């Protein structure tokens, strides 16, 4: 198989490297800046640094054209190649979790279109190379595109699941809540420690071990059973002590604590606890 990558940043470069490792030929890369193109090629280990004209000339040689630009640039990139010559067997894909593959249909004469989204946070090339092979990918596209995508997943040795394009926004929100908002929660935890001079490496490590233990419990017994602490114990006296401390030291985080307390009460099914979160310990003006 021969591949061209348009927009090789964190995800595109890691995918290029993994595809090459699986025996695919990376024909070339096109980024807007030649420096970033060259850096991507150096990491992937093969491919030509295409100018825009060279990209358009070479497109029909590729079985797969991957658009891995930021989401905001996918349509623009698809439009850029819309008039280029394609031949039977050229497939076009992107890797956005939010957007459907329809965004690629701007007149391009590809054999099939699909989106191929890794449920993973790819912070840089090295982490992408390490984490993508363990990730679950979701696929949506037209019939031929989906068939090709499943073969691509097989080649990479990754698990995959087909999803309906109408479900992508909520599916993507699920990924954002689990990944991005977890980052915010852990940062909040560090801020609480910092406020009272406890932001020490050992305590950060302690918090991370706590999170890892919690993740392991969620994996083994599910979120409902994994819950420990004052909310599931129905211990509102402890909650009130937290509320007083947060209002004294980090009042900006009070609303977050209260909101998550309400949702955590829902998870336990404890209506009385939820009521208390809604009606007690609030701001002075509540």
Ligand X SMILES: NC(=O)c1ccc[n+]([C@@H]2O[C@H](COP(=O)([O-])OP(=O)(O)OC[C@H]3O[C@@H](n4cnc5c(N)ncnc54)[C@H](OP(=O)(O)O)[C@@H]3O)[C@@H](O)[C@H]2O)c1
In DSSP terms, which residues pair with 3 in a beta bridge?
26, 64
**Least Å from the CB of residue 200 to ligand X:** 30
Of positions 22, 25, 73, 214, contacts ligand X by CB under 6 A: 73
Residues 9-48 within binding reach of ligand X (CB under 6 A)? 9-12, 30-33, 36
Q: State the number of binding residues for ligand X (CB under 6 A).
A: 28
CB of 226 to ligand X, least distance (A): 25
Do residues 96 and 127 touch, judged by C-beta distance below 8 A?
no
Residue with the shortest CB distance to ligand X: 9
Find the binder of ligand X among 38, 76, 151, 200 (CB under 6 A): 76
Binding piece for ligand X, criterion CB under 6 A, among 64-72, 183-191, 206-214, 226-234: 64-72
Query: Contacts with ligand X in 95-154 (CB under 6 A)?
Result: 95-97, 117-118, 120-122
Q: Minimum CB separation from ligand X for residue 34, in Å?
A: 8
* Closest distance of CB 4 from ligand X, Å: 11
Left (φ > 0), alpha (ψ -120 to 50) or beta: where does 65 sit?
beta
CB of 31 or CB of 265, closer to ligand X: 31
Q: Which of 26, 27, 66, 68 binds ligand X (CB under 6 A)?
A: 68
For helices 236-249 and 271-279, what crossing angle results, to 10°? Answer: 30
Instruction: Indicate the residue among 119 and 207 with the shorter CB distance to ligand X.
Output: 119
The binder of ligand X chosen from 46, 71, 127, 142 (CB under 6 A): 71
| Candidate ranges 41-49, 65-73, 158-166, 199-207; the one touching ligand X (CB under 6 A) | 65-73
Instruction: Answer yes or no whether residue 7 interacts with ligand X by CB under 6 A.
Output: yes
* Residue whose pair of structure tokens reads 């609480």 in the numeric block: 192
Main-chain dihedrals φ then ψ at residue 18, nearest 5 degrees: -70, -35
Neighbours of 257 (CB within 10 A): 19
Q: How far is the CB of 37 from ligand X (least distance, A)?
A: 7
| Minimum CB distance to ligand X, residue 154 (Å) | 20
Angstrom distance (rounded) from CA 140 to CA 99: 10
CB of 213 to ligand X, least distance (A): 25
Query: Of 79 and 224, which has the nearer Cβ to ligand X?
Result: 79
Q: Shortest gap between Cβ of 142 and ligand X (angstroms)?
A: 19
List of residues contacting ligand X (CB under 6 A): 6-12, 30-33, 36, 68-71, 73, 76-77, 94-97, 117-118, 120-122
């Amino acid at each position: 198989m021969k591949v061209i990558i348009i927009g090789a940043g964190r995800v595109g470069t890691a995918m290029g490297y993994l595809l090459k490792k699986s025996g695919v030929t990376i024909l070339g890369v096109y980024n807007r800046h030649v420096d970033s193109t060259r850096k991507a090629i150096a990491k992937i280990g093969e491919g030509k640094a295409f100018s825009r004209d060279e990209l358009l000339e070479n497109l029909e040689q590729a079985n797969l054209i991957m658009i891995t630009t930021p989401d905001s640039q996918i349509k623009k990139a698809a439009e850029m190649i819309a008039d280029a010559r394609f031949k039977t067997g050229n497939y076009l894909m992107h890797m956005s979790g939010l957007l459907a593959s329809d965004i690629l249909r701007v007149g391009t004469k590809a054999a099939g279109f699909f989106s191929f989204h890794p449920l993973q946070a790819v912070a840089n090339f090295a982490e992408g190379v390490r984490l993508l092979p363990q990730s679950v990918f979701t696929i949506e596209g037209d019939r031929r595109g989906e068939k090709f995508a499943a073969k691509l997943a097989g080649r990479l040795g990754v698990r995959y699941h087909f999803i309906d394009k109408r479900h992508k926004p909520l599916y993507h929100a699920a990924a954002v809540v689990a990944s991005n908002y977890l980052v915010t929660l852990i940062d909040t935890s560090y801020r609480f420690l910092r406020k009272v001079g406890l932001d020490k490496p050992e305590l950060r490590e302690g918090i991370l071990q706590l999170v890892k233990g919690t993740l392991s419990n969620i994996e083994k017994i599910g979120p409902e059973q994994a819950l420990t602490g004052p909310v599931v114990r129905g211990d509102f006296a402890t909650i009130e002590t937290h509320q007083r401390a947060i209002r004294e030291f980090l009042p900006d985080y009070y609303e977050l604590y209260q909101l998550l307390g309400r949702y955590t009460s829902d998870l336990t099914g404890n209506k009385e606890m939820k009521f208390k979160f809604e009606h007690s310990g609030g701001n002075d003006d509540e």
